[in-house]
């Protein structure tokens, strides 16, 4: 058996706009997906994902793309878990040349699914790393990130950036613009997360922004303006100016909201954080529901969020310096 883990992330700036070639700055956090992989002789794939922080379930299905799971769970959950793992194993077979390899894959994660903290990227990165190593092949982080990106892109109908997967593979704060992915120096950031207990559908949300951008020039301008915020944000990060980073996060949230990807609960949590004195707050990831990220060195934001209607969980997140971890 081979085991790997990979971290989730928050977006400091730039989600959605990054899909259209603008830069984005995600930052890995110490919440991880852990994947254990064992080779099977029959070429089949068995996925056991009982702890994905959302209605535990176990799925067993065949090795082909048509193999339907014989379980009674919501389609969206089956789709989320199995498509990403299917895609990851396809990449493993391709990169190792082991076309017929089958696996038992067990996933445990403390990253809520579809909530803007990069759960799918973390699962895919850890699954590809563990399964390739199970076959005796160790990928460099850049190759691992690329294979994970291809998986996400395939599952999301070609509408994915490299940001989530690169950040999860390498850890730390990163800057992604198109195919250019690099690590960034970042100050110690007082990151607080608020989680509404829900999730958004990344594919649908990305498609919604795409449609707006095609219909209205001002929506396309909004996407470009997010790119400008990211560029300013990079300077603020380099200067370690946490107050300015927060101000730009507030701005970024406003533009994401204009693009229709916020929700009442996300807006409520963002305002609760601001009222509590956070330097800034914004939704993170695709939106529609899930998590916000705020910057506050004091306890005030966490306390305020814990009393905010619609906020199910709040916690402080440490920067994950390390991306994929190869476990014993
Ligand atoms: C989703 O975590 C982030 C998006 O920008 C999509 C992507 O970058 O692939 C909405």
Same-domain check for residues 172 and 196:
no
CA 71 to chain centre: 26
Confidence of residue 265 (pLDDT cuts 50, 70, 90): very high
| CATH number, residue 150 | 3.30.230.10
Kindly state whether residues 140 and 208 are assigned to the same domain. no
| Domain finish residue from 146, 161, 184 | 184
Residues 129 and 247 in one domain: no
Residue 80 has a pLDDT of 65
> Is the confidence at residue 243, as pLDDT, over 50?
yes
Q: What percent of the chain has pLDDT over 90?
A: 78
Please indicate if the annotation marks 62 as binding a ligand.
no
Our answer on whether the CB atom of 146 is closer than 6 Å to any ligand 1 atom is no
Residue of 23, 18, 26, 27 whose CA lies nearest to 259: 18
Are both 12 and 78 inside the same structural domain? Answer: yes
Residue 269, domain CATH: 3.30.70.890
Considering the domain architecture, whether residues 196 and 285 belong to the same structural domain is answered as yes
**Does the beta carbon of 17 sit less than 6 angstroms from any atom of ligand 1?**
no
Higher pLDDT, 84 or 183: 183
16 lines ligand 1 (CB under 6 A): yes
Quick check: ipTM above 0.95? yes
Number of domains comprising the chain: 2
What's the pLDDT at 256? Answer: 98
Q: What is the mean pLDDT of the chain?
A: 90
Residue 113 banded pLDDT, cuts 50, 70, 90:
confident
Whether residue 115 has its Cβ less than 6 Å from ligand 1:
no
Provide the 10 A C-beta neighbour count for residue 229.
23
What is the DSSP secondary structure assignment for residue 52, as one 8-state letter?
Answer: S
Whether 41 is in a domain gets the answer yes
Distance CA 238, CA 278 (A): 20
| Lowest-confidence region among 8-22, 66-80, 158-172 | 66-80
Among the options 146, 164, 250, 296, which is catalytic?
A: 164
Q: What kind and span of H or E run contains 281? A: strand 280-283
> How does strand 173-177 pair with strand 57-61?
unpaired
Which has more confidence, 107 or 275?
275
Same structural domain, 160 and 138: yes
* 115 marked as part of a ligand binding site: yes
Residue 99 phi/psi, 5-degree rounding, is -60, -30
The tens digit of pLDDT for each residue in 116-170 reads 999 999 999 999 999 999 999 999 999 999 999 999 999 888 888 999 999 999 9
Taking the centre of ligand 1 as the mean of its atom positions, its distance from the CA of residue 100, in whole angstroms, is 32
Asked whether residue 323 is marked as a ligand-binding residue, the answer is no
104, 42 contact by CB (below 8 A): no
Torsion of CA 311, 53, 257, 279, to 10 degrees: 60
Q: Is residue 162 part of a domain?
A: yes
The H or E element spanning position 58 is: strand 57-61
Domain boundary among 158, 184, 210: 184
The 10s digit of each residue's pLDDT in 163-201 is 999 999 999 999 999 999 999 998 999 999 999 998 888
Quote the ligand 1 centre to 24 CA distance (angstroms). 10
């Amino acid at each position: 058996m081979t085991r790997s883990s990979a971290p989730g992330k928050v977006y400091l700036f730039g989600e959605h706009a990054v899909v259209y070639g603008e830069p984005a700055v995600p930052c890995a956090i110490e919440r991880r997906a852990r994947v254990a992989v064992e080779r099977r002789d029959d070429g089949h794939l068995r996925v056991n994902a009982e702890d994905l922080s959302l209605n535990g379930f176990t799925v067993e299905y065949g090795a082909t793309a048509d193999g339907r799971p014989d379980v009674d769970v919501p389609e969206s959950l089956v789709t989320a878990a199995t498509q990403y793992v299917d895609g990851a194993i396809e990449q493993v077979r391709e990169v190792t040349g082991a076309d017929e390899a089958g696996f038992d894959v067990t996933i445990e994660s403390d990253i809520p699914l579809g909530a803007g903290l990069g759960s799918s990227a973390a699962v895919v990165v850890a699954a590809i790393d563990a399964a390739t190593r199970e076959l005796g092949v160790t990928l460099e982080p850049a190759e691992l990130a690329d294979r994970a990106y291809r998986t996400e892109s395939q599952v999301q109908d070609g509408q994915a950036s490299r940001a989530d997967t690169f950040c999860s593979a390498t850890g730390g704060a990163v800057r992604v613009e198109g195919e250019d992915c690099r690590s960034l120096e970042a100050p110690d950031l007082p990151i607080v997360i608020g989680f509404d207990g829900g999730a958004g559908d990344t594919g649908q949300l990305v498609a919604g922004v795409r449609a707006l951008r095609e219909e209205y020039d001002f929506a396309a301008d909004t996407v470009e303006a997010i790119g400008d915020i990211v560029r300013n944000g990079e300077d603020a990060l380099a200067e370690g100016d946490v107050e300015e980073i927060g101000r730009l996060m507030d701005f970024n949230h406003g533009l994401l909201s204009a693009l229709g990807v916020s929700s009442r609960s996300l807006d409520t949590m963002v305002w609760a954080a601001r009222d509590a004195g956070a330097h800034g707050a914004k939704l993170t990831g695709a939106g529609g529901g899930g998590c916000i990220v705020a910057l506050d060195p004091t306890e005030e934001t966490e306390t305020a969020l814990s009393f905010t209607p619609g906020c199910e969980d709040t916690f402080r997140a440490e920067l994950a310096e390390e991306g994929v971890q190869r476990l014993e």
